[in-house]
Amino acid sequence: MPDTARETDAFRHLQEEWTRQILRGTRAMELILNPAEPKVGQTPRVEVYRKGKARLCRYQSSRKHPVPVLMVPNLGISRPYIFDLQPGASFIEYMTREGFDFYLLDWGVFGEEDNGLTVDDCVTRILPRVVRKVLESSGAEALSLLGYCMGGPLSACFVALHPEVPVRALVNMAGPIDFAHAGLFRLWLDKRFFNVDRMVDTLGAVPAEMVKAGFKLLKPTMDVTTALNLWWNLWNDRYVEGFKALNKWANEYVPFPGEFFRQWVKEFYQENRLVRKELRLGGRLVDLGQIRCPVLVVGAQEDYIAPAPCVRAVLDHVGSQDTRYEELPGGHISLIAGRSAALHCWPRVAGWLAPRSG
Amino acid sequence: MAEKEPTQEMFELWRKSLEEGTQAWLKTITQTPPADVTQFWRPILEQGMEFWAKGMGQVGAPDPAQQWKRFMDLWLEAWSKALGQAMATEGFARALGRYMDQWLTAQGPWRKAAEQSSEAALKALGLPGRAQVAAMAEQLTALEERVDRLDDRLDELKQLLERLARSPADRAAVPRRTTSRKRS
């Protein structure tokens, strides 16, 4: 490149950067002076059932597909509005636009009175009723289950224990199944180093602050990276809007019920009972081989909460003939929310479910 | 290539000073067993720096802001990788577990005392304590569960009645106990 052209190019970059710096400063002042809460979860919904803290919400669609979809997210940790973050950036909005009658189970924010809730209760007491309410409310003869994160193994256990329930298809999105591959959490929660009984007996529940600390520790540089990226993109209004919504969610942790945490850590993380066929829920043995409906598994390449091999493992144990595995770019959250999710994950899930929802 | 040299030179200088600093630091802590530090951090830092050096060598954009952002991204990525490797060791897991144990040991009596004093204060004011509110909420949950069970039973009965009304063949399938009870 000739020297003059290089200088002109450098000057143009400098000019652009200067304009952006001014915009960054303005937006930063706006953010500080007007820290308005972003609006989240705006897709119209109706509450169809409530049990304890759990709420079942229906998001109606044109019902192009007669089989409704029930989404079972993680329990505790975070709020489920990540699936309906903002108009144009919402998995639920996308699915309803695609013609799926969508139901979301919100496990709620737990208090001291819920400390006795267990994995057993969720799989054998709450989920069966929720599924029945979905069928009643939609008038459909069958439904599809979509488990995300911890909702993945919960849904899988439910389907395995209830072969009589008309489940048309099961989707496991970033749901850990084989805990031998569960990454850093598997190591940190190992019974040689972590005494879950002591924690639950002392605290009763796992406080939200502790849940937050645990997740932040997984990626200690995350907050600095987020702040740096915010500063870099502060001139971009769309980025800032999306950031505000995502940041609200990312900092809103909820506590874990004590007994649920005890059972989850012991039987899933420490003893890996689900894949060893040693897990008993409601007095019955959970055999993933009883799952005979079509199964789609979606793992994320950079998921450090539920690494892809840990998620994919469900396919080695189910009795289904129609199975599919998708490993998509991104992490545990960007698999389901954000631009990458809209590009990679949502169309694949909807595309796979559509022919199985007639 | 000539315009990359000052950056490369600066990076080399920084690496040298960091290495010397680490060496000096290690010397000062040789009194206490430095096994963990040398075992975990030394190879990690070197790996991080190599990665960084590679990235710096690739910087070719004339935009200084872009260069700075890229530099920061690489720096954070290197640290993230280094920390990730350190945290994936049994040593770290053991230390974390030990820290948790100590924290819980400290928390236990403190929480108990705080709970007792707040319960006493609320009682003095004639207000229900946390334990009482939680117990009441638990009772409500139990009641809700019983209502749900009744609801389930009613649903079962409703379905049975519907089946009976629909087909006489189903009537035969009704357990005899139900009909004999009606008669008595």
Predicted confidence at residue B180, as pLDDT, reads: 45
In a domain? residue B114: no
Q: Of B30, B55, B88, which one is at a domain's C-terminal end? A: B88
Q: What is the pLDDT of residues B25-53, one digit of tens each?
A: 666 555 555 455 555 566 666 666 666 66
> Considering only CB atoms, which chain B residues are within 8 Å of A129?
148, 152
H helix and E strand count, chain B: 8, 0
Whole-number Å distance between alpha carbons of A29 and A20: 14
Token output for A298 = 């979606």
In a domain? residue B29: yes
Residue appearing with tokens 């493992």: A313
> Considering only CB atoms, which chain B residues are within 8 Å of A192?
94, 97
Going by C-alpha positions, the residue among A130, A143, A152, A147 that lies closest to residue A65 is A143
Q: What is the pLDDT of residues A159-211, one digit of tens each?
A: 999 999 999 999 999 999 999 999 999 999 999 999 999 999 999 999 999 99
Whole-number Å distance between alpha carbons of A324 and B76: 35
B106 to chain A, any CB pair closer than 8 A? The answer is no
Q: Domain residue spans in chain A?
A: 46-356
In a domain? residue B63: yes
Phi, then psi, of A55 in degrees rounded to 5: -130, 140
Which element (helix H / strand E) includes A56?
strand A54-59
Whole-number Å distance between alpha carbons of A67 and A142: 6
Q: Of B71, B88, B105, which one is at a domain's C-terminal end? A: B88
Q: Of B31, B55, B88, which one is at a domain's C-terminal end? A: B88
Query: What's the structural domain count of chain B?
Result: 2
Count of beta carbons in the 10 Å neighbourhood of residue B35? 9
- Partnered with residue A47 across adjacent β-strands are A57
The least confident of A203-207, A234-238, A338-342, B33-37 is: B33-37
Beta strand A167-173 pairing with A143-148 = parallel
The least confident of A255-259, A326-330, B44-48 is: B44-48
In a domain? residue B102: no
Provide ipTM, 2 decimals: 0.83
Tell me whether residues A13 and B145 touch, CB distance under 8 A: no
Question: Do residues A93 and A81 touch, judged by C-beta distance below 8 A?
Answer: no
In a domain? residue B77: yes
The average confidence (pLDDT) of chain B is 75
Tell me whether residues B144 and A51 touch, CB distance under 8 A: yes
Residues B143 and B81 in one domain: no
What are the strands, taking DSSP E only, across A194-353? 253-254, 280-281, 284-285, 295-300, 323-328
Going by C-alpha positions, the residue among A74, A68, A133 that lies closest to residue A96 is A68
Residue appearing with tokens 């709970």: B115
Beta strand A54-59 pairing with A100-106 = antiparallel
Nearest beta carbon to residue A52 from set B96, B141, B152: B141
Count of beta carbons in the 10 Å neighbourhood of residue A215? 17
State in Å, rounded, how far the first CA of chain A is from the last one: 60
- CA distances, B88 to each of A94, A218, A304, B4, B17 (Å): 37, 10, 11, 36, 28
> Considering only CB atoms, which chain B residues are within 8 Å of A195?
97, 100-101
Predicted confidence at residue B27, as pLDDT, reads: 64
Residue appearing with tokens 């999306």: A242
Q: What is the pLDDT of residues A270-318, one digit of tens each?
A: 999 999 999 999 999 999 999 999 999 999 999 999 999 999 999 999 9
Can you spell out the DSSP letters for A307-328?
-HHHHHGGGGT---SSEEEEEE
To the nearest whole Å, the CA of A50 is away from the closest chain B CA by: 10
To the nearest whole Å, the CA of B184 is away from the closest chain A CA by: 35
In a domain? residue B152: yes
Residues B10 and B78 in one domain: yes
Domain that holds residue B56: 2-88
| CA quadruple B73, A181, A311, A189: dihedral sign | negative
Token output for A311 = 């998620």
Q: What are the catalytic residues of A?
A: 149, 303, 332
| CA quadruple B159, B161, B166, B169: dihedral sign | positive
Percent of chain B having pLDDT more than 90?
Answer: 11
Tell me whether residues A13 and B65 touch, CB distance under 8 A: yes
Which position has the higher pLDDT, A279 or B11? A279
The least confident of A36-40, A71-75, A182-186, A257-261 is: A36-40
Going by C-alpha positions, the residue among B63, B93, B132 that lies closest to residue A194 is B93
In CATH terms, the fold of domain A46-356 is Rossmann fold (3.40.50)
Token output for A141 = 């003869």
What are the strands, taking DSSP E only, across chain B? none
Beta strand A253-254 pairing with A167-173 = unpaired
